[in-house]
Structure 1
Amino acid sequence: MDQGLAALLGATVGVLGTVAASAISSGAARRQLEGQAKVEHAHWRRQLRRDAYSAFLAPANETRTALKSAGRALIGDASDVTEADHRLRIARDQLVLVQAAWAGLAIEGPDAVEHAAHSVHVALHSMHTTLLAWRDSLGAADRDVGLVERHAVEVTLVSERLGGFTAAARAALDGTDVPPDRRG
């Protein structure tokens, strides 16, 4: 083989090696950028979900607090209907926010969180309805003990459902499954 051909062959092998190394390097860089983009997207989605879950939980807790206060105002012979009505109006306004936030959860998901939020919303709405009926029955001779008992059960149910929502939201943010005993 003459020296010119050997030099040409050597240069060709060198160029092919350089092109191959460049292709491998650019492929690795592209995969690294794609991986980074996926991590950033997942972080962005987690933030959106966290904000949506908080936007639901805050008015849900405010609603529960207002409803419990309304119940306390109705207890006993010295019922404070004015205070109960005030708290029931606050609860009604907060329920509107709960409903709007629940709609956001239907988009953000996952289903376990949306279902848990729905069960909280239903329980809060039921508690509100029970208190309205209790308030309206205050003039009755029997003072509708059934509504008082129902309210006591609903206070516990709402707390359990809020706990279930919180567990479902935390599991969704952590990427784990919701424990069966905490599902709404």
Structure 2
Amino acid sequence: MDAGGVALVGAVAAVLGATVGAGGAVRAAKSQNRGQHVQWRRQVRRDAFAAFLTAINDCHDKILALCANVGRAPTPESAATFAVEVRDLAAVLKQCQDCYNIVRLEGPAEVSSRAEALMELLSQWSAVALQQVEPEIMGLTRVEMERRRLPTSDSLNFPDDAVSQMRMAKTQINDFAEAARRALDHPDGALDRR
């Protein structure tokens, strides 16, 4: 083979080597980008789940504070305190709803459904707590309650006693946290497959 042929083979080999090397570099970059995206997505989900859990626990505490008024004799001071507690509860329920909307968006489906069940439970529990406390604090009769169409624990299919209510809430909070933990342990999206 003459010098021109050797130079041509060398040039082809160099071009081929550069192409293979560039292809490997592109694959490595795509793999790295995928890994960074998975980590970013996991962090976004973690932040959403943590914010929801924080709001839910705040709501839980507000409902318990409201329930502490059951059995107290109505006074002007208790009515004023009750009004503040109701406002605080409404604000934290709104915060829960806002956080829940983000959890629904970020998924996965199992976590979203646990969050939805938890929101339903807290909405029911807060309605029952208001129903149990408001008549006593505000001095309402059963007829006045019915006229105002306040929900009862019977109409909501929710336990009457505070211990059962608290246990039910804690169980669902723990269920959500466990589902969220599983979702974060599988950042590749294995739980997204339905």
Amino acid corresponding to residue 104 of structure 1 in structure 2: I
Q: Distance in 1 between matches of 2:153 and 2:81?
A: 20
Q: Which has the larger radius of gyration?
A: 1
Number of equivalenced pairs: 171
Amino acid corresponding to residue 94 of structure 1 in structure 2: V
Conserved in 2, the CA contact under 8 Å of 1:73 and 1:81?
no
5+ residue gaps, structure 2: 143-151
TM-score (structure 1 length as normaliser): 0.81
Following TM superposition, by how much is the alpha carbon of 1:149 offset from its aligned partner in structure 2, in angstroms? 3.1
Identity of aligned residues (%): 25
5+ residue gaps, structure 1: 179-184
Structure 1 runs of 4+ aligned residues shifted over 4 Å read 77-82, 144-148
Q: Which residue of 2 aligns with 1:166?
A: 177
TM-score (structure 2 length as normaliser): 0.77
Conserved in 2, the CA contact under 8 Å of 1:67 and 1:88?
no
Kindly provide the CA deviation profile for residues 62-99 of structure 1, in whole angstroms up to 9, marking residues without a partner as x: 1100111111222x455755444433321211001111
Following TM superposition, by how much is the alpha carbon of 1:110 offset from its aligned partner in structure 2, in angstroms? 0.6
Q: Distance in 2 between matches of 1:67 and 1:9?
A: 86
Q: Which residue of 1 aligns with 2:167?
A: 156
Conserved in 2, the CA contact under 8 Å of 1:110 and 1:172?
yes
Following TM superposition, by how much is the alpha carbon of 1:60 offset from its aligned partner in structure 2, in angstroms? 1.0
Larger RCO, structures 1/2 (Cα 8 Å, 6+ apart): 2
Q: Distance in 1 between matches of 2:165 and 2:159?
A: 10
Q: Distance in 2 between matches of 1:172 and 1:145?
A: 34
Q: Which residue of 1 aligns with 2:147?
A: none
2:128 matches 1:130? yes
Structure 1 pair 35/167, CA: closer, same or farther in 2 (3 Å)? same
Conserved in 2, the CA contact under 8 Å of 1:130 and 1:151?
no
Following TM superposition, by how much is the alpha carbon of 1:152 offset from its aligned partner in structure 2, in angstroms? 2.8
**RMSD of equivalent CA atoms:** 2.6
Q: Distance in 2 between matches of 1:56 and 1:129?
A: 20
1:13-92 alignment runs, 5 A limit: 13-74=9-70, 76-78=71-73, 80=78, 82-92=80-90
Structure 1 pair 128/149, CA: closer, same or farther in 2 (3 Å)? same
Q: Which residue of 2 aligns with 1:95?
A: 93
Following TM superposition, by how much is the alpha carbon of 1:35 offset from its aligned partner in structure 2, in angstroms? 0.7
Following TM superposition, by how much is the alpha carbon of 1:151 offset from its aligned partner in structure 2, in angstroms? 3.5
Amino acid corresponding to residue 164 of structure 2 in structure 1: V
Following TM superposition, by how much is the alpha carbon of 1:145 offset from its aligned partner in structure 2, in angstroms? 10
Kindly provide the CA deviation profile for residues 85-129 of structure 1, in whole angstroms up to 9, marking residues without a partner as x: 433321211001111111111211111111111111111111100
Secondary structure, aligned partner of 1:73: coil
Q: Which residue of 2 aligns with 1:7?
A: 3
Conserved in 1, the CA contact under 8 Å of 2:111 and 2:176?
yes
Q: Distance in 2 between matches of 1:25 and 1:136?
A: 74
